[in-house]
Amino acid sequence: MTGPRYTPLIDSLPSTVPFVGPETQERRMGHPFAARLGANENGFGPSPRAIAAMAAAAGEVWKYGDPENHDLRKALAEKHDCDPANIVVGEGIDGLLGYLVRLVIAPGDRVVTSEGAYPTFNFHVAGYGGELHKVPYKGDHEDPDALIALAKQVGPKLIYIANPDNPMASAHPGETILRMVEQVPEGALLVLDEAYVDLAPEGTAPAIPADDPRVIRFRTFSKAHGMAGARVGYAIGAKPLIAAFDKIRNHFGMSRISQAGALASLQDKTWQAYMRRLIAASRDRIGEIAAENGLSALPSATNFVAIDCGRDGTFARAVLEELTGAGIFVRMPGVAPQDRCIRVSCGPEPEMEAFAAALPGALDRARARLG
């Protein structure tokens, strides 16, 4: 028989993706969304300095990007008070998580994570034959104590936690994460996803030395920097681990345009402060919209807010579907009891007002459908 001969592992995996993109939904609907508030993008956009740098770099896009990401790594090292050899840059946190899993996970290797946590990491683990072991959330937070307890039982190679968390927007203080690091079992590596930490309260980011071999930290330019489409992420870790990425990473995976934009954004401290204020105001507005409709907004340390719809996942899904039909793109957690919520990204005022206008009708129609 002609055609590719897939590995038994790939043959065993379902044909699915972790997220259906808003563009896919728009094509199905035949019209664009009025408000794009589901992907945790930063609708306020990137720094004007980043836009200018990317525009200037476009004229040289015939060149490959610097495979060493030298200038960006140097600037990031200065930001984090470490050596550039402690930093690897890649195609967003998603891409770097894939590289990490490829580095350490073979078929049958155990990985510990939370039930309902960021699913892309799980897809990488499944893609390399890893064995996922999960703990439930505690309230609306990931449970560091439960993750460590399970890790001590099953002996995983990786322990994943996001702080702040996606999809609930909750966060633990940095001291809690430091205690978790101290308890990482021998032979395990803590995978600390800090995609949203630039937007979190002071003290959320733990003071972890870059060379601590027990942990690798992931950051991104997609959220606070408003550059999700540029696909720029980085990891901070011990030098031997970071050096190992060179064995497998796509050395030309970063475009010159993305590199230039990230470097300019990193240097624009004024814009970063302005962005934190814009997002804080938008979080407050989402809370107001929820309250106006008799719903509760959960505390958020991110650029999105989880809104408790007051019933179960079936009802929240109906609300989401009705919002989609009204032209509002939002998402929701996938696992009970967190799936009682919808998840709304922060954004500019016109999109907030479109959401405010659509939510009452969506709730009414969902209640009419389900009684």
CA atoms within 13 A on the CB side of 158: 28
pLDDT tens across 235-270, in order? 999 999 999 999 999 999 999 999 999 999 999 999
pTM above 0.85, yes or no: yes
Place of tokens 């060379």: 211
CA distance 29 to 257: 32
Closest listed residue to residue 89, CA positions, set 62, 63, 71 = 71
Q: Is the pLDDT of residue 371 over 90?
A: no
Give the SS3 label for residue 309: coil
Closest listed residue to residue 130, CA positions, set 160, 162, 107 = 107
Would you state the structure tokens that stand for residue 273, as one six-digit string? 């402060």
In order of 45, 208, 256, the CA distances from 143 in angstroms are: 33, 20, 40
pLDDT tens across 76-130, in order? 999 999 999 999 999 999 999 999 999 999 999 999 999 999 999 999 999 999 9
Average pLDDT estimate for 160-183? 98
Q: Hey, what domains does the chain have and what are their CATH numbers? A: 19-44+270-370 (3.90.1150.10), 48-267 (3.40.640.10)
Give the count of beta carbons closer than 10 Å to the beta carbon of residue 88. 26
- Confirm if 151 and 188 have CB atoms less than 8 A apart: yes
Q: Is the pLDDT of residue 18 over 80?
A: no
- Confirm if 102 and 121 have CB atoms less than 8 A apart: no
Q: For the chain, give the mean pLDDT.
A: 97
Q: Is the pLDDT of residue 132 over 70?
A: yes
Q: Where are the beta strands (DSSP E) in the chain?
A: 35-36, 87-90, 110-114, 131-135, 158-162, 189-193, 215-220, 233-236, 296-297, 304-308, 328-329, 341-345
